[in-house]
Amino acid sequence: MSSPRVRFAPSPTGFLHVGGARTALFNWLYARRTGGTMVLRIEDTDRERSTDAHTQVILDGMTWLGLTWDEGPFFQGENAERHGADAEQLLASGAAYRDYTTPEELTAARERVTRTGATFRYRRAEMELPADEQARREEAGRPHAIRFAIPDEEIAWEDAVHGTISWQGRDLDDFIILRSDGSAIYNLAVVSDDIAMEITHVIRGDDHISNTPKQVALYRALGHTPPVFAHVPMILGTDGKKLSKRHGATAVGDYQDLGILPAAMRNFLALLGWSPGNDDEVLPEAEMIARFTLEAIHAKPAVFDTTKLEWMNGQYLSMLAADELLPPVERELLRMGVTAPGRDIRPLIDAVKARSRTIGQVAEQVAVRLDGTRVVRDDKGVALERKMGERFGSSIALAHAALSGVADADWNAPRIEIVLRDVAEQAALKLGDLMQPVRVALTGGTVSEPVPELLAVVGRESSLARLGLHAGH
**Closer Cβ to RNA, 138 or 207, answer by number:** 207
**Least separation in angstroms between CB 215 and RNA:** 10
**Closer Cβ to RNA, 38 or 269, answer by number:** 269
* Residue 76 near RNA by CB under 7 A: yes
* Residue 126 near RNA by CB under 7 A: no
* Residue 319 near RNA by CB under 7 A: no
Exposure of 351 in the CB half-sphere (CA atoms within 13 A): 27
Determine which residue in the list 75, 91, 151, 211 makes contact with RNA, applying CB under 7 A: 211
**Closer Cβ to RNA, 32 or 353, answer by number:** 353
Exposed e or buried b per residue across 100-111, where buried means at least 16 C-beta atoms within 10 angstroms of its C-beta: bbeeeeeeeeee
**Least separation in angstroms between CB 191 and RNA:** 12
- Restricted to residues 214-253, the positions that interact with RNA (CB under 7 A) are 233-234, 236, 238, 240-242
Closest CA relative to residue 82, chosen from 38, 45, 124: 45
Residues 64 and 259 sit within 8 Å (Cβ to Cβ)? no
Query: What sign does the CA torsion over 70, 61, 33, 157 have?
Result: negative
* Residue 210 near RNA by CB under 7 A: yes
> In whole angstroms, how far apart are CA 236 and each of 245, 266, 273, 301, 308?
12, 17, 11, 7, 15
- Restricted to residues 328-357, the positions that interact with RNA (CB under 7 A) are 354-355
How many amino acids of this chain bind RNA (CB under 7 A)?
87
**Closer Cβ to RNA, 340 or 446, answer by number:** 446
**Closer Cβ to RNA, 132 or 430, answer by number:** 430
Segments of 289-349 assigned E as strands: 302-303
Q: What is the bridge-based pairing of β-strands 235-236 and 302-303?
A: parallel
Q: Letter for the amino acid at 139?
A: E
Per-residue binding string, RNA, 357-396, x by CB under 7 A, is: ----------------------------------------
Residues 146 and 96 sit within 8 Å (Cβ to Cβ)? yes
* Residue 35 near RNA by CB under 7 A: no
- Restricted to residues 411-450, the positions that interact with RNA (CB under 7 A) are 417, 431-432, 435-436, 439, 446-450
